[in-house]
Structure 1
């Protein structure tokens, strides 16, 4: 077993804690998309749930444990999807949830956080500014700070996707995973390396937000001064050392893709699969578009990880 921070027994147990509405998400062969890309493509759909992303698999674990401990409040920084997920999981368990986000975050994601009953605080700057403010609130109020990818619950919750994929591992040979902070990549990667080691795990990140990918290739933390990508959900600048250590053990490759390929991927998911997705969810398709020879004739799973997107932005990128 790989010596990451994750534990397969805990991941299996987590499935009994997470609300079933987030589990056993669809995995289906999209023949039209496969024909367009030149390979067999299966979509793992993580958007058909109340928060329209995979993040609640992790926040369900966080909120359950806090409720069991008698804790009343929790705070996180979020680019949008984690905040919505924590708001949903926390409301269900009577927790007071505060979410700190950048004013630049997509309005659709901020509206979802408010609608789910969380207190939303907006800050100037990017996600890193929000993370600093959330840490300050946690210290001032003496409440739990949830840090995506660093907190093991977020990784092991996401890892339950890997458990579901491993059951069907004979039907594919490569999985494409959006890479931001690393919770989904390390979680799914850990399970697949344990249960389906023949499956290649490839992480995908935008060229405009390359910190974790650069860190993976250089085997040390590499930070960036800024990000420039429409894929806001993966636009971090400061990789977490412990998460990078886990990623180095479970990822077979990490690649960067251009913005035009992300947009083309979003358009293809709409045209061929009928899916409206946020940019981060199209990273896997973008990777195939940029290196078709690598995937030609292969059996590929791409995890469609979120669909919280401003419609005006979506139409501007993808077209009417």
Structure 2
């Protein structure tokens, strides 16, 4: 396999550093989803942990590294999940964590960041504005800037999900991965291409936030002027070149899905799997809904990557049980 920035030996060692509460997330066949999707479906549930997303696998590595070097402070930009994860990991290691987020970010995510003890700074604009402010704080204060997907620890932490997939007894031939900055896709993809190269790695992104998908297809960085999607966790506009280079080596395809399909996927995960998920976590189901013929007869694994969603927004999107049966 062509070499990515990731190293499998480090990924194996990472499991000794990551708090076990974030490891060994459930992987199970969800037969209730299958009649509507037309394929066998297994769920890798990355929400069953204290921060309700996969992000802490990476922040555990970052925080451990900083604590070991005697660096007591860190700052990151976050749409919400990375900030919660870094706050949780930093709190356990005595780190002073600052999170910069858009003031339009999901309220539930922002409240949880504060509850975990991080300093929260809100900026006008979107996630890219938060990234610029976080970089400014790091320069001015001389502290570590944690950049999701660019920092290799965030990718190699996510890659431990790939280890759990290939070490499981589940037989599958496709993995559907939410694509935003790329840490999850490059991490899981690296392991699969090395240890299970016959498995197809399909990345899924919203049509309204297509920068990384366009970049993958064009084999060059393509930025967008805006990102309009309910899936805030994957709504970046400026892909990181080094991450794109890795993604080009490990992804077999990158597809875009409509907002209506994302909402339909959220409803299906609630009705048939009993899962309340954020929009990013429904991207895999949305991809199958939009192209049933492609996945017919396959056994797909979809990584349910986060469940930090504002209750009011969730009910507006998904509706009540009465609405869904009307």
| TM class, shorter-length | over 0.9
- What SS class does the counterpart of residue 287 from structure 1 fall into? helix
Q: Residue 86 of structure 2 corresponds to which residue in structure 1?
A: 86
CA distance, structure 1, for counterparts of residue 7 and residue 67 of structure 2: 22
1:314 aligns with 2:314: yes
Whether the 8 Å contact between 1:30 and 1:41 is mirrored in structure 2 is yes
Q: CA deviation at 1:170?
A: 5.7
CA distance, structure 2, for counterparts of residue 262 and residue 114 of structure 1: 29
- What SS class does the counterpart of residue 217 from structure 1 fall into? helix
Q: Residue 155 of structure 1 corresponds to which residue in structure 2?
A: 155
1:190 aligns with 2:190: yes
CA distance, structure 2, for counterparts of residue 220 and residue 197 of structure 1: 24
Q: Residue 283 of structure 1 corresponds to which residue in structure 2?
A: 283
Q: Residue 238 of structure 1 corresponds to which residue in structure 2?
A: 238
Q: CA deviation at 1:167?
A: 1.2
Q: Residue 134 of structure 1 corresponds to which residue in structure 2?
A: 134
1:69 aligns with 2:69: yes
- What SS class does the counterpart of residue 225 from structure 1 fall into? coil
Which structure 2 residues correspond to residues 1-320 of structure 1 after superposition, within 5 A?
A: 1-168=1-168, 171-320=171-320
CA distance, structure 1, for counterparts of residue 213 and residue 169 of structure 2: 25
Q: CA deviation at 1:168?
A: 2.8
Structure 1, residues 101-154: CA drift from partner, whole Å, max 9, x if none? 001100011001001000000000000100010001011111100000000000
Per the alignment, do residues 188 and 169 of structure 1 end up closer, same or farther by CA in structure 2, a change over 3 Å counting? farther
CA distance, structure 2, for counterparts of residue 239 and residue 72 of structure 1: 29
Whether the 8 Å contact between 1:78 and 1:130 is mirrored in structure 2 is yes
- Structure 1 segments of 4 or more deviating over 3 A? none
- What SS class does the counterpart of residue 171 from structure 1 fall into? coil
Structure 1, residues 51-108: CA drift from partner, whole Å, max 9, x if none? 0000000000000000000111100000000000000000000000000000110001
CA distance, structure 2, for counterparts of residue 130 and residue 56 of structure 1: 20
Q: CA deviation at 1:34?
A: 1.4
Structure 1, residues 185-207: CA drift from partner, whole Å, max 9, x if none? 00000000000001000000000
Number of residue equivalences: 320
Cα root mean square deviation, aligned: 0.7
- What SS class does the counterpart of residue 121 from structure 2 fall into? strand
Whether the 8 Å contact between 1:216 and 1:244 is mirrored in structure 2 is yes
TM-score by length of 2: 0.97
Gaps (5+ residues) in structure 2?
A: 321-326
Q: Residue 324 of structure 2 corresponds to which residue in structure 1?
A: none
Whether the 8 Å contact between 1:226 and 1:237 is mirrored in structure 2 is yes
CA distance, structure 2, for counterparts of residue 288 and residue 40 of structure 1: 11
CA distance, structure 2, for counterparts of residue 132 and residue 210 of structure 1: 20
Gaps (5+ residues) in structure 1?
A: none
